Chains A and B, each alone.
Chain A
Amino acid sequence: MSFTLLIVQTLNGLQFGVLLFLIAAGLTLVFGVMDFINLAHGVQYMLGAYLAVMFYALTGNFLIALVAALGAALLLGLLLEFTVFRHLYDRDHLEQVIATFGIILFLNQGVKVVWGAAPLSLPIPDMFAGTVVLSPGILYPVWRLMIIGSGLAVALILYLLVTRTRVGMLVRAGATHANIVSALGVDIRRLFMIVFGFGTMLAAFAGVMIAPILSVEPGMGDSVLILAFVVIVIGGIGSMRGAFIAALLIGLVDTLGRSFAIDILRLVMPPSPARTVGPAIASMLIYVLMALVLYFRPAGLFPAKGR
């Protein structure tokens, strides 16, 4: 367990965390501001990836594919909002869960009909295709650094948007006192639509950024959705800051756990059981973390004010 390996694994954890943040940010916004449970959020991440693959095949340019995919994902998101979600805001959570779960099934199958069941791939743009040498023999892909960088940039932009702009102020106000904001003459439906569209674009952005690393396949959003919910529960529902901290925490705990669980267990038990127990414990860690956080702080680490 050398020092460089620890650094590399920390970078890996950060990259995973940042990705989770991009997805969880939209989820927590929609959940926190609109009190709407959107299980279909993971599907929007998948759509982002698929759209990027499609636009890349058409244009051969990653940047154009990225922008076009974000635009198309936004349109699809708004279409979903208009046709389905809009009618669910006033219903209870169970109905929202069932309806959005239906959308998961529908879109997973739809993607299979349009693009086929076989996994697709998106190449890394040439400019970022290389690796950087962290120490002799230890390489790190530039694209993963790009993901970390762009994720942190998005986090900063989000922070400024929510705390420094008028729309951000309305979003914060709408989260706690929707009726009063509405009474003051703000079109709350339109505000919700903006928030929703923005959340969709964040998820799609995460999908596009990860597509060069992961295979693009039907159902790719499902596992990520569960993790995103873990993130917003740990961070505190509706809290952007909570989502950021919790996402990085989950990313680091999961990655470091996977890489070092066996080595740590070897200190206290013989190698063979350590090899069996290690992976099992590593995959449980984040859920143990969630249970602990819920036990000590039932509202999450950074509960949004007024809830």
Chain B
Amino acid sequence: MNKLLSSVAAVALLGTACTAQAQEKLKIGVVTTLSGPAAVLGQQLRNGLQLAIKDNGGKLGGREVELFVQDDELKPDVAVSKAKALIDRDKVDFVVGPIFSNILVAIMKPVTEGGAFLISPNAGTSNFAGKECNPNFFVTSYQNDQNHEVMGKYAQDAGMKKVFIMAPNYPAGKDSLAGFKRFFKGEVADEVYVPLNQLDYSAELSKIAASGSEAVFVFLPGGMGVNFVKQFRQAGLADKMKFLSAFTVDESTLPAQKEAALGFFGGANWAPDLDNAQNKKFVEGYQKEYNGAIPATYAFQSYDAGLLIDGALKAVGGKTDNKDALRAALEKAPFTSLRGNFKFGANHYPIQDFYQVKVVQVGDKFATSIDKKVFTDYTDPHAKDCKMK
């Protein structure tokens, strides 16, 4: 008798669970790097998305959101198994992430073939922008080459004759220097590839000093950039040549670089002081929420990813079952980006403006600041190779 009662109760419970699911929570998976030296970038990604949800009253597209945050540990194999778990176990509708390009390449198939939309708030490799473009993949950041092209164009326009260029020895590093050289036509004093996560640049700095270059261009993200910038300043090179970079001096690294990075240049699609009301609110909100930390591009691009999901879902009445309708809505980019001008190209990568940014001091903190617009409504160079199915 007791058994019967309890099973009746269980059925009744199931019934209430079903009615509750009428307005089921929207499930979003996050794949980001939360351990190791690059964790600070991954935290910005997570924080940005969480802030977007919070600013929308805990909802996106009118539905309560349930976030599943996974640490990819910057290891492709780990990322794949966690992405698969998000799809198979948690049944998420969207996956937002990752920070790093090698992780993106790894999780692309499991996520998009598993029926979810993958929205990258940072990594934007050339293959997915061109020949391998994917209908279920959207990018709210940039194509990897572009920030480097900004610096190449700047060096070319400034009439520089000789530049020393350096990047880590991995695919994004090669793309970086190729992007720089696409626009810079002067002499490249030397092109150096260092091992990923090298910490001491004494050998390279001596070479740079001996090369007699007008400027150095580097792509050294995260801790690598912190070390290089400090050592560049210590070696007395900052007074002798210009410092051009991408992903090397930004709000995620400046708390450690401080004065050492003052006046250094970067290429970016945004800076905290980009002048529009929505951005101002975002930067203030982020600082308030996360102990006064100034957001970097990772956070703003992730915030935009949240806005994108919100806008597209609203356009289809909050329903995720009709993928084609949802995809069509996403393609229209129905949201106001923090960066102002924004639309998707045919390859689902953004068409946007790019700026040269400069490190300045704001009170007792350091941030990048818009110095000059370099590209307007710029489409990435690989978009023409994309035949979207």
Contact = CB atoms under 8 A, between A and B. Distances in A.
Interface stretch (B32-40, B128-136, B335-343): B32-40
A28 B169 CA distance: 32
A213 interface: yes
B43 interface: yes
Contacts of B36: 218-219
B202 A121 contact: no
A138 B209 CA distance: 6
Given A120-B256, A218-B37, A259-B206, A223 B191 contact: no
Contact of A12 (B35, B199, B202, B256): B202
Given A117-B43, A143-B234, A8 B37 contact: no
B135 to A, nearest CB: 35
A191 to B, nearest CB: 35
Contacts of B234: 124, 129, 131, 141, 143, 212-213
A279 B193 contact: yes
Interface stretch (B8-16, B98-106, B224-232, B346-354): B224-232
A139 B209 contact: yes
Given A141-B234, A218-B39, A5 B200 contact: no
Interface string A216-235: 11111001000000000000
B298 to A, nearest CB: 12
Interface string B239-273: 00000000000001101111010000000000000
Nearest to A53: B256
B328 interface: no
A138 B40 contact: no
Given A9-B203, A144-B202, A223-B199, A217 B231 contact: no
A100 interface: no
Interface in A224-273: 255-256, 258-259
A121 B256 contact: yes
A219 B195 contact: no
A223 B227 contact: no
Contacts of B191: 275
Interface string B206-224: 1101101000000000110
Contacts of A255: 202-203
Contacts of A61: none
A183 interface: no
Nearest to A8: B206
A2 B210 CA distance: 9
Contacts of A223: 197, 199
Given A112-B39, A118-B40, A218-B39, A5 B236 contact: no
Contacts of A279: 169, 192-195
B118 to A, nearest CB: 25
Q: Most chain-B CB neighbours within 10 Å: which of A15, A118, A131?
A: A118
Given A131-B236, A215-B226, A217-B37, A259 B207 contact: yes
A259 B203 contact: yes
Nearest to A130: B236
B18 interface: no
B235 interface: yes
Interface in B156-180: 169
Residues of B in contact with A, size category: 35 or more
A219 B36 CA distance: 6
Contacts of A8: 206
Contacts of B236: 131, 139, 141
A215 B227 contact: yes
A122 to B, nearest CB: 10
A116 B291 CA distance: 11
Contacts of B34: 117
A18 to B, nearest CB: 12
Given A5-B207, A215-B223, A15 B202 contact: yes
Interface in B291-312: 293
Contacts of B39: 112, 117, 218
Q: Most chain-A CB neighbours within 10 Å: which of B207, B237, B252?
A: B207
Nearest to B36: A219
Contacts of A4: 210
A214 interface: yes
Contacts of A140: 235
Contacts of B206: 5, 8-9, 12, 138, 259
A283 to B, nearest CB: 5
B209 A137 contact: yes
Contacts of B231: 141, 213
Given A213-B227, A219-B36, 8 more contacts: A4-B210, A12-B202, A117-B34, A119-B37, A137-B212, A212-B230, A223-B199, A259-B203
10 contacts: A5-B207, A12-B203, A16-B200, A116-B40, A119-B40, A215-B199, A217-B37, A218-B37, A223-B197, A275-B193
Which 4 A/B pairs are nearest by Cβ-Cβ distance?
A215-B226, A12-B202, A117-B39, A119-B256
